[in-house]
Protein backbone atom coordinates (compact mmCIF):
# COMPACT_ATOMS: atom_id res chain seq x y z
CA UNK A 1 0.00 0.00 0.00
CA UNK A 2 1.13 3.59 -0.69
CA UNK A 3 1.05 6.37 1.91
CA UNK A 4 -0.30 4.28 4.79
CA UNK A 5 0.86 6.84 7.37
CA UNK A 6 -0.83 10.00 6.06
CA UNK A 7 -3.95 9.65 8.16
CA UNK A 8 -7.34 11.05 7.19
CA UNK A 9 -8.41 14.48 5.96
CA UNK A 10 -11.99 15.64 6.32
CA UNK A 11 -13.45 17.84 3.61
CA UNK A 12 -17.04 18.92 3.20
CA UNK A 13 -18.34 16.15 5.42
CA UNK A 14 -16.34 13.46 3.64
CA UNK A 15 -13.22 11.58 4.68
CA UNK A 16 -10.20 11.22 2.43
CA UNK A 17 -8.45 8.12 3.75
CA UNK A 18 -5.02 8.49 2.16
CA UNK A 19 -3.47 5.35 0.77
CA UNK A 20 -6.66 3.37 0.28
CA UNK A 21 -7.27 4.62 -3.26
CA UNK A 22 -6.61 7.51 -5.62
CA UNK A 23 -9.09 10.38 -5.34
CA UNK A 24 -10.34 12.33 -8.36
CA UNK A 25 -10.65 16.11 -8.53
CA UNK A 26 -12.82 17.26 -11.43
CA UNK A 27 -11.91 20.62 -12.99
CA UNK A 28 -14.62 23.21 -13.61
CA UNK A 29 -13.18 26.22 -15.42
CA UNK A 30 -15.51 29.22 -15.28
CA UNK A 31 -13.23 31.14 -17.63
CA UNK A 32 -13.37 32.24 -21.27
CA UNK A 33 -9.71 31.44 -21.93
CA UNK A 34 -8.82 28.11 -20.32
CA UNK A 35 -5.69 26.47 -21.77
CA UNK A 36 -7.49 23.14 -21.87
CA UNK A 37 -10.26 24.32 -24.16
CA UNK A 38 -13.00 23.59 -21.64
CA UNK A 39 -13.62 27.09 -20.27
CA UNK A 40 -17.31 27.69 -19.67
CA UNK A 41 -17.11 31.48 -19.59
CA UNK A 42 -20.05 33.01 -17.76
CA UNK A 43 -22.40 30.06 -18.31
CA UNK A 44 -23.34 29.24 -14.72
CA UNK A 45 -25.93 26.66 -15.72
CA UNK A 46 -23.39 24.80 -17.86
CA UNK A 47 -20.87 24.82 -15.01
CA UNK A 48 -23.40 23.44 -12.53
CA UNK A 49 -24.47 20.81 -15.05
CA UNK A 50 -20.84 19.82 -15.59
CA UNK A 51 -20.37 19.50 -11.83
CA UNK A 52 -23.40 17.23 -11.56
CA UNK A 53 -22.08 15.10 -14.40
CA UNK A 54 -18.61 14.87 -12.89
CA UNK A 55 -20.06 13.81 -9.53
CA UNK A 56 -22.00 11.07 -11.29
CA UNK A 57 -18.91 9.96 -13.21
CA UNK A 58 -16.85 9.42 -10.07
CA UNK A 59 -15.31 12.74 -9.01
CA UNK A 60 -14.52 12.89 -5.29
CA UNK A 61 -14.17 16.66 -5.27
CA UNK A 62 -14.89 19.49 -7.72
CA UNK A 63 -12.38 22.32 -8.22
CA UNK A 64 -13.96 25.58 -9.40
CA UNK A 65 -11.70 28.26 -10.86
CA UNK A 66 -12.50 31.66 -12.34
CA UNK A 67 -9.08 32.85 -13.52
CA UNK A 68 -7.06 31.15 -16.23
CA UNK A 69 -3.64 29.93 -15.09
CA UNK A 70 -2.04 29.60 -18.50
CA UNK A 71 1.28 31.48 -18.68
CA UNK A 72 0.15 34.26 -21.05
CA UNK A 73 -3.21 34.96 -19.41
CA UNK A 74 -4.08 38.34 -17.92
CA UNK A 75 -5.01 38.46 -14.21
CA UNK A 76 -8.58 39.45 -13.48
CA UNK A 77 -9.98 41.55 -10.65
CA UNK A 78 -11.31 40.09 -7.42
CA UNK A 79 -14.79 41.30 -8.31
CA UNK A 80 -14.72 39.61 -11.71
CA UNK A 81 -13.45 36.37 -10.20
CA UNK A 82 -16.18 36.50 -7.55
CA UNK A 83 -18.80 37.12 -10.22
CA UNK A 84 -17.64 34.01 -12.05
CA UNK A 85 -17.15 31.47 -9.26
CA UNK A 86 -19.56 32.28 -6.43
CA UNK A 87 -22.81 31.53 -8.34
CA UNK A 88 -21.33 28.21 -9.48
CA UNK A 89 -20.27 27.24 -5.96
CA UNK A 90 -23.67 28.23 -4.60
CA UNK A 91 -25.39 26.25 -7.34
CA UNK A 92 -23.28 23.14 -6.87
CA UNK A 93 -23.44 23.24 -3.07
CA UNK A 94 -27.15 22.58 -3.33
CA UNK A 95 -26.90 20.04 -6.16
CA UNK A 96 -24.06 17.63 -5.41
CA UNK A 97 -22.89 15.73 -2.35
CA UNK A 98 -19.17 15.80 -3.20
CA UNK A 99 -17.10 18.59 -1.59
CA UNK A 100 -16.13 21.70 -3.51
CA UNK A 101 -12.72 23.33 -3.85
CA UNK A 102 -11.99 26.87 -5.01
CA UNK A 103 -8.94 27.44 -7.20
CA UNK A 104 -7.79 30.92 -6.16
CA UNK A 105 -4.89 32.80 -4.57
CA UNK A 106 -6.98 35.83 -3.56
CA UNK A 107 -8.16 35.99 0.09
CA UNK A 108 -11.39 37.83 -0.68
CA UNK A 109 -12.39 35.24 -3.27
CA UNK A 110 -11.40 32.41 -0.93
CA UNK A 111 -13.45 33.80 1.97
CA UNK A 112 -16.54 34.34 -0.17
CA UNK A 113 -16.16 30.86 -1.67
CA UNK A 114 -15.97 29.26 1.77
CA UNK A 115 -19.08 31.17 2.81
CA UNK A 116 -20.84 29.98 -0.35
CA UNK A 117 -20.10 26.31 0.37
CA UNK A 118 -16.53 25.49 -0.68
CA UNK A 119 -14.68 23.10 1.61
CA UNK A 120 -11.13 23.29 0.25
CA UNK A 121 -8.70 25.96 -0.94
CA UNK A 122 -6.38 25.35 -3.90
CA UNK A 123 -3.57 27.92 -4.08
CA UNK A 124 -1.35 27.83 -7.18
CA UNK A 125 1.19 30.06 -5.40
CA UNK A 126 1.49 27.95 -2.25
CA UNK A 127 0.85 30.97 0.04
CA UNK A 128 3.74 32.89 -1.59
CA UNK A 129 1.34 35.38 -3.20
CA UNK A 130 -0.74 35.95 -0.06
CA UNK A 131 -0.29 33.93 3.15
CA UNK A 132 -3.67 35.15 4.41
CA UNK A 133 -5.12 32.11 2.65
CA UNK A 134 -3.53 30.04 5.42
CA UNK A 135 -5.37 32.12 8.01
CA UNK A 136 -8.63 31.31 6.22
CA UNK A 137 -7.81 27.60 6.02
CA UNK A 138 -7.09 27.62 9.75
CA UNK A 139 -10.17 29.69 10.62
CA UNK A 140 -12.52 27.49 8.61
CA UNK A 141 -10.56 24.29 9.38
CA UNK A 142 -10.49 23.24 5.73
CA UNK A 143 -7.81 21.49 3.64
CA UNK A 144 -5.54 23.64 1.51
CA UNK A 145 -3.56 22.54 -1.55
CA UNK A 146 -0.12 24.15 -1.68
CA UNK A 147 1.50 24.22 -5.12
CA UNK A 148 5.15 24.62 -6.05
CA UNK A 149 5.18 27.37 -8.67
CA UNK A 150 8.43 28.26 -10.49
CA UNK A 151 7.03 30.92 -12.82
CA UNK A 152 9.13 33.72 -11.34
CA UNK A 153 12.36 31.72 -11.14
CA UNK A 154 14.64 29.54 -13.23
CA UNK A 155 15.88 26.27 -11.77
CA UNK A 156 18.46 23.79 -13.02
CA UNK A 157 17.79 21.02 -10.48
CA UNK A 158 14.01 20.86 -10.32
CA UNK A 159 13.18 18.21 -7.70
CA UNK A 160 15.15 19.77 -4.83
CA UNK A 161 13.62 23.15 -5.74
CA UNK A 162 10.08 21.73 -5.74
CA UNK A 163 10.61 20.04 -2.38
CA UNK A 164 12.19 23.17 -0.87
CA UNK A 165 9.39 25.35 -2.22
CA UNK A 166 6.74 23.06 -0.74
CA UNK A 167 8.56 22.91 2.59
CA UNK A 168 8.45 26.71 2.76
CA UNK A 169 4.73 26.72 1.95
CA UNK A 170 4.04 24.05 4.54
CA UNK A 171 5.95 26.02 7.18
CA UNK A 172 3.90 29.13 6.36
CA UNK A 173 0.70 27.15 6.69
CA UNK A 174 1.69 25.58 9.99
CA UNK A 175 2.84 28.83 11.64
CA UNK A 176 -0.53 30.35 10.77
CA UNK A 177 -2.46 27.52 12.37
CA UNK A 178 -3.31 25.12 9.54
CA UNK A 179 -3.57 21.60 10.90
CA UNK A 180 -1.08 19.06 9.55
CA UNK A 181 -3.95 16.85 8.34
CA UNK A 182 -5.28 19.71 6.23
CA UNK A 183 -2.14 20.20 4.12
CA UNK A 184 -1.97 18.72 0.61
CA UNK A 185 1.00 19.34 -1.71
CA UNK A 186 1.13 19.76 -5.49
CA UNK A 187 4.46 19.78 -7.40
CA UNK A 188 2.99 22.21 -9.95
CA UNK A 189 3.41 20.44 -13.29
CA UNK A 190 3.36 23.12 -15.99
CA UNK A 191 4.04 26.05 -13.72
CA UNK A 192 7.39 27.61 -14.67
CA UNK A 193 9.01 24.33 -15.64
CA UNK A 194 10.48 23.15 -18.93
CA UNK A 195 9.19 20.08 -20.75
CA UNK A 196 12.09 18.03 -19.43
CA UNK A 197 11.50 19.28 -15.89
CA UNK A 198 7.79 18.46 -16.04
CA UNK A 199 8.53 14.94 -17.23
CA UNK A 200 11.12 14.59 -14.49
CA UNK A 201 8.69 15.74 -11.80
CA UNK A 202 6.18 13.05 -12.80
CA UNK A 203 8.87 10.39 -13.11
CA UNK A 204 10.36 11.23 -9.69
CA UNK A 205 7.09 12.03 -7.91
CA UNK A 206 7.82 9.44 -5.23
CA UNK A 207 10.65 11.64 -3.92
CA UNK A 208 8.06 14.22 -2.83
CA UNK A 209 6.65 11.67 -0.40
CA UNK A 210 9.45 12.75 1.94
CA UNK A 211 7.20 15.69 2.90
CA UNK A 212 4.78 13.33 4.60
CA UNK A 213 1.64 14.79 3.05
CA UNK A 214 -0.75 13.64 0.31
CA UNK A 215 0.27 14.57 -3.23
CA UNK A 216 -2.08 16.14 -5.76
CA UNK A 217 -0.98 15.73 -9.38
CA UNK A 218 -2.36 17.96 -12.12
CA UNK A 219 -1.16 16.87 -15.56
CA UNK A 220 -4.48 16.76 -17.39
CA UNK A 221 -4.28 18.07 -20.98
CA UNK A 222 -1.16 20.10 -20.14
CA UNK A 223 1.37 21.40 -22.62
CA UNK A 224 3.97 18.73 -21.83
CA UNK A 225 1.56 16.16 -23.28
CA UNK A 226 0.97 18.34 -26.32
CA UNK A 227 4.70 18.78 -26.85
CA UNK A 228 5.48 15.07 -26.58
CA UNK A 229 2.56 13.91 -28.73
CA UNK A 230 2.20 16.99 -30.95
CA UNK A 231 -1.51 17.24 -30.21
CA UNK A 232 -3.92 20.05 -29.25
CA UNK A 233 -5.50 20.19 -25.79
CA UNK A 234 -8.70 18.41 -26.82
CA UNK A 235 -6.76 15.37 -28.09
CA UNK A 236 -4.59 14.68 -25.05
CA UNK A 237 -6.77 12.05 -23.36
CA UNK A 238 -4.39 9.12 -23.83
CA UNK A 239 -1.39 11.23 -22.86
CA UNK A 240 -3.20 12.33 -19.73
CA UNK A 241 -4.04 8.71 -18.94
CA UNK A 242 -0.37 7.78 -19.16
CA UNK A 243 0.67 10.55 -16.77
CA UNK A 244 -2.11 9.64 -14.33
CA UNK A 245 -1.13 5.97 -14.28
CA UNK A 246 2.56 6.72 -13.81
CA UNK A 247 1.72 9.38 -11.22
CA UNK A 248 -0.32 6.93 -9.15
CA UNK A 249 2.44 4.34 -9.38
CA UNK A 250 4.82 7.02 -8.09
CA UNK A 251 2.59 8.01 -5.17
CA UNK A 252 -0.10 10.49 -6.27
CA UNK A 253 -3.08 10.56 -3.92
CA UNK A 254 -5.34 12.93 -5.89
CA UNK A 255 -5.38 13.51 -9.65
CA UNK A 256 -6.88 16.74 -10.97
CA UNK A 257 -8.50 16.00 -14.33
CA UNK A 258 -10.80 17.38 -17.01
CA UNK A 259 -12.04 13.97 -18.24
CA UNK A 260 -13.52 12.43 -15.11
CA UNK A 261 -15.22 9.30 -16.46
CA UNK A 262 -12.17 8.14 -18.40
CA UNK A 263 -9.66 8.97 -15.68
CA UNK A 264 -11.83 7.27 -13.05
CA UNK A 265 -11.34 4.05 -15.00
CA UNK A 266 -7.60 4.68 -15.27
CA UNK A 267 -7.45 5.24 -11.51
CA UNK A 268 -9.38 2.08 -10.68
CA UNK A 269 -7.17 -0.05 -12.91
CA UNK A 270 -3.94 1.49 -11.67
CA UNK A 271 -5.06 1.24 -8.04
CA UNK A 272 -5.79 -2.45 -8.53
CA UNK A 273 -2.14 -2.92 -9.50
CA UNK A 274 -0.46 -0.39 -7.22
CA UNK A 275 -2.63 -0.55 -4.10
CA UNK A 276 -4.27 -3.97 -4.54
CA UNK A 277 -4.65 -6.24 -1.50
CA UNK A 278 -2.38 -8.81 -3.15
CA UNK A 279 0.54 -6.48 -2.33
CA UNK A 280 0.02 -7.04 1.38
CA UNK A 281 1.07 -10.68 0.88
CA UNK A 282 4.52 -9.64 -0.34
Report which DSSP code applies to 157: S
Contact 98, 60 (CB under 8 A): yes
Task: Check residue 149 and give left, alpha or beta (phi > 0: left; psi -120 to 50: alpha).
Answer: beta
Catalytic residue among 21, 250, 256, 275: 256
Residue 16 main-chain phi, psi, to 5 deg: -105, 105
Q: Is 281 a catalytic residue?
A: no
d(C-alpha 168, C-alpha 124), whole Å: 14
How many angstroms separate the first and last alpha carbons of the chain?
11
Instruction: Give residues with Cβ within 8 angstroms of 137, minimum separation 6.
Output: 121, 143, 144, 173, 178, 182
Catalytic residue among 222, 236, 250, 275: 222
Q: Is 70 a catalytic residue?
A: no
* Catalytic annotation, residues: 222, 256
Amino acid sequence: MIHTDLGTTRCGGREFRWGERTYIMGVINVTPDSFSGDGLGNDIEAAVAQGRRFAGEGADILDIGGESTRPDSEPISEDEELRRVIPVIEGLAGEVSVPLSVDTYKPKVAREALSAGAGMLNDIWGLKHDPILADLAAEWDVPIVLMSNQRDTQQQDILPEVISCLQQSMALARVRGVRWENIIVDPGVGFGKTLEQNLEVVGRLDEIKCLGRPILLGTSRKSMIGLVLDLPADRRLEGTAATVAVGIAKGADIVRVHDVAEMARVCRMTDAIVRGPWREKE
